[in-house]
Structure 1
């Protein structure tokens, strides 16, 4: 798959407002050029300004386009009020004309839960409770059984595409039991089978699995002068790759988007998660 990904991380001193304007311009430009879809991500308590409000961002992007499909990857469900999230999803669905899908997950960083005042140890239970409420809210049902009298009003016109994110067996089982697709950062052995078996046991039609191979590049820039591009982009790519690896030390070696490289030179020589290639090199990857 080819697409654009935005997390809005910036080095100190960079123009924040300019970066957000540029992101919107890039998405608008890409619609007539090459990108069939765009993803935006969410994290909190990150010093480099990682995007904290993916819904707001994707709504702005959708308003600048007419056919591009968007995915929020991923919204950390226990950190949201599920009714408020359903309202936000519904409004974005109306703005975009049904062009936004969502990956939901529990996250993995205690710092995020601490910042937002949510108990990290209860994240699994909260996820299940929130899914119950979210599903009923998106369907326009009365939420009194959840202790929330009323409904969200203008529910989405159709079914919003929802995935459950995670590369563990519990994540695969939760996705299957809830009738969601499974979205994993890498193709873990047996994960798709666990998902399909759980779907069969629950009598639910599988919604599909998105699992890139561990060797697949997840961040690729195309340039005529590869050396010059590495000089310009190497440090931001290294920060991106190693930050995720530091957050996920137990899975960095098998995750398609991470690297334990300690320098730009090492990241480049790895030729794995983060690459700069020529046009011909890009065609080879595709």
Structure 2
């Protein structure tokens, strides 16, 4: 099992954000990404919402940094850590748009992109963007197939139910011959979608017993990532026993990648917590190489 971090500041959910994040900016984010990169963490994340209705922002938060711009900056400040969109909403974009923009990001980052992709659930945002909400699952499946056909190829071709293209040039395209797709969701359908069309599954909002039940019913193929959240922020410096239990619980549940939020008082403390979490993980036999 490897460990990545849910990057602070970039999403400010009212229920979980720390006070220091409210006034923090890209310098603090970059310092944290640099520390995670130096220490050997697997990934940093950035999610996507374009325009959150005020009524929804009260519950979900309204601060969501744009992944493409943010990762473009962080790519220049890091060397090996992977950049994970967790997640892009497929229905908000044409597959060729993702292929061009994120293919360029993969190229400038030296092949470090992982595309976390989801169907989306916020009807109000779909409507604001003029994107069809009904039938979004089938459209997302076709988008995944079209995106796989378009990435890593200078002259892609695809003919599907919703997307159809040929005789086009996508340059630059990705450096990686196959960009990993991590499929987000919390249903059996999302897991089946990940098995059929992706390289990993990123569930959310489910307890470990529910996750174990879903995974027992649909065993994942060898090599597919199961990316599980560590839940509430880990405090390896102050509560190492709880952090250890969280990590071992994820590993026992079948996680190949743990995605952890970190409790911290500021960006400098966050870096210290990353060091403490690495030491703790190594003591549990978790490899950072």
**RMSD across aligned C-alpha pairs, in angstroms?**
3.7
Which of structures 1 and 2 has the larger relative contact order (alpha carbons within 8 angstroms, sep 6+)? Answer: 2
Q: What does residue 25 of structure 2 align with?
A: 19
Alpha-carbon shift at residue 111 of structure 1 (Å):
2.4
Q: What does residue 39 of structure 1 align with?
A: 45
Unaligned 5+ runs, structure 1: 198-204, 227-255, 259-275
TM-score by length of 1: 0.66
Q: What does residue 113 of structure 1 align with?
A: 126
Alpha-carbon shift at residue 75 of structure 1 (Å):
1.1
Q: What does residue 10 of structure 2 align with?
A: 8
TM-score by length of 2: 0.65
1:1-286 aligned at under 5 Å gives the runs: 1-6=2-7, 8-10=10-12, 18-33=24-39, 35-44=41-50, 45=52, 46=57, 48-140=61-153, 141-143=155-157, 145=159, 146-149=163-166, 150-157=168-175, 158-185=177-204, 186=206, 187=208, 188-196=211-219, 206-212=222-228, 216-222=230-236, 283=280
Alpha-carbon shift at residue 30 of structure 1 (Å):
3.2
Q: How many residues align?
A: 230
Unaligned 5+ runs, structure 2: 240-258, 262-272, 285-289
What SS is found at the alignment partner of 2:79? Answer: coil
Alpha-carbon shift at residue 124 of structure 1 (Å):
0.5
Alpha-carbon shift at residue 173 of structure 1 (Å):
1.3
Aligned pair in 2 of structure 1 residues 53, 170: CA closer, same or farther (>3 Å)? same
**Equivalent pair of 1:172/1:194 in contact (CA under 8 Å):** no
Alpha-carbon shift at residue 2 of structure 1 (Å):
3.6
- 1: CA distance between counterparts of 2:98 and 2:62? 22
Alpha-carbon shift at residue 65 of structure 1 (Å):
0.7
